[in-house]
Amino acid sequence: MARHFISIKKLSEEPYSGILGYPKSTKRQINSRISELEKLQIKSISFTGPTTIGKLEILGKGYVGIVVLAKRKSKYVALKIRRLDSQRTEMKNEAKLLKLVNSVNVGPKLFDHSKNFVVMEYLDGEKIGKWINSLKGRGRSKKLKSTIKDILQDCFKLDQIGFDHGELSSISKHVIIGEKKCAIIDFESSSTKRRPSNVTSITQAIFIGSGIGKQVQKIYKIPSKEKIIGALRIYKQNQSQESFDNLLKVLKL
């Protein structure tokens, strides 16, 4: 796919300003955001991706941010732009949390941040639901199992550092699976003050929830709900390597 990049100077013009200052902004806010991007060494932006706002394509949209593909030092990065109607007044906390999970090699790599932006590794992939649907042919069960195992291991690492993602029950929005790498995203609602329940939440979302669970079941026979809940209960009581390994065994991973 040819990617057309637009210089950040052009972002003050319609329709681009509608993304930089989503959903509504003043000229002043747009200009201030453009100089913020200059400081972050973001040179240009490409409007490509699976989601659209008006006529422009973007990588994704949430309640806090709009994410677009950008170029920084000639490398592709994902740029999360703070929505002007977001509950958050700045991106600092999210960047701090992302940096923390990066310390155990989880999440997209954080490159930089400012008041209104987070610059991070671009994950070229798909949301888990779509990805599972696209699995075909022999070996798909093996591929699915190893990916789920990778995701669970990331969750275990987060549990181990006392970090709770907070939104893993909606797994379809928060895991991106690419050719080389799969990653948990969006640490916006995370906390280091709650008791972590990453492994538990994601296991429930993958194996017990109705959406992804049904898709997984079509590819490999998953154990009974009772068995899974039993293993999760043991894990909840003691989040040790041993009880995590037991969970993987029960899940046939």
Ligand X SMILES: Nc1ncnc2c1ncn2[C@@H]1O[C@H](COP(=O)(O)OP(=O)(O)O)[C@@H](O)[C@H]1O
From 14-22, 60-68, 77-85, 141-149, span contacting Mg ion (CB under 5 A): 60-68
Provide, rounded to whole angstroms, the least separation between the CB of residue 127 and Mg ion: 11
User: What is the smallest separation between the CB atom of 15 and ligand X, expressed in angstroms?
Assistant: 19
Q: Is 3 in a helix, a strand, or coil?
A: coil
28 contacts: CB under 8 Å, gap ≥ 6: none
C-beta closer to ligand X: residue 154 or 188: 188
Nearest residue (CB) to ligand X, 127 versus 145: 127
Q: If binding is defined by CB under 5 A, does position 62 make contact with Mg ion?
A: yes
In the range 162-181, which residues lie near ligand X by CB under 6 A?
173, 176
Comparing CB distances to ligand X, the nearer of 76 and 220 is 76
Is residue 105 helix, strand or coil?
coil
3-state secondary structure (DSSP) of residue 139: coil
- Stretch of residues binding Mg ion (CB under 5 A), selected from 34-42, 61-69, 77-85, 124-132: 61-69
Question: Which amino acid makes up residue 33?
Answer: R
Which residues from 37-96 bind ligand X, rule CB under 6 A? 59-65, 67, 78, 80
Q: Name the amino acid, one letter, at 211.
A: G
- Binding residue count for Mg ion, defined by CB under 5 A: 2
Nearest to Mg ion of 164, 186 (CB atom): 186
Which is nearer to ligand X, 168 or 176 (by Cβ)? Answer: 176
The amino acid that residue 132 corresponds to is I
* CA-based nearest residue to 45, from 67, 14, 63, 21: 67
Contacts of residue 64, defined as CB under 8 A and 6 or more positions apart, other chains included, come to 80, 82, 83, 86, 87, 88, 94, 188
- Shortest Cβ distance from residue 168 to Mg ion (Å)? 11
Task: Please say which residue, 164 or 186, places its beta carbon nearer to ligand X.
Answer: 186
DSSP class of residue 191? B
Whole-angstrom Cα distance, residue 141 to residue 144? 5
Q: Which does 108 bind (CB under 5 to 8 A by kind): ligand X, Mg ion, none?
A: ligand X
Stretch of residues binding Mg ion (CB under 5 A), selected from 55-63, 110-118, 176-184, 190-198: 55-63
Cα dihedral across residues 14, 15, 16, 18: positive or negative = positive
Q: Is 182 helix (H, G, I), strand (E, B) or coil?
A: strand
Establish if 186 lies at the interface with Mg ion (CB under 5 A): yes
Phi/psi of residue 149, nearest 5 degrees: -60, -45
Q: Which is nearer to ligand X, 125 or 213 (CB)?
A: 125
Distance between CA atoms of 159 and 143, rounded to whole angstroms? 25
Q: Which residues bind ligand X (CB under 6 A)?
A: 59-65, 67, 78, 80, 108, 120-123, 173, 176, 185-186, 188
Per CB under 5 A, residues contacting Mg ion are 62, 186
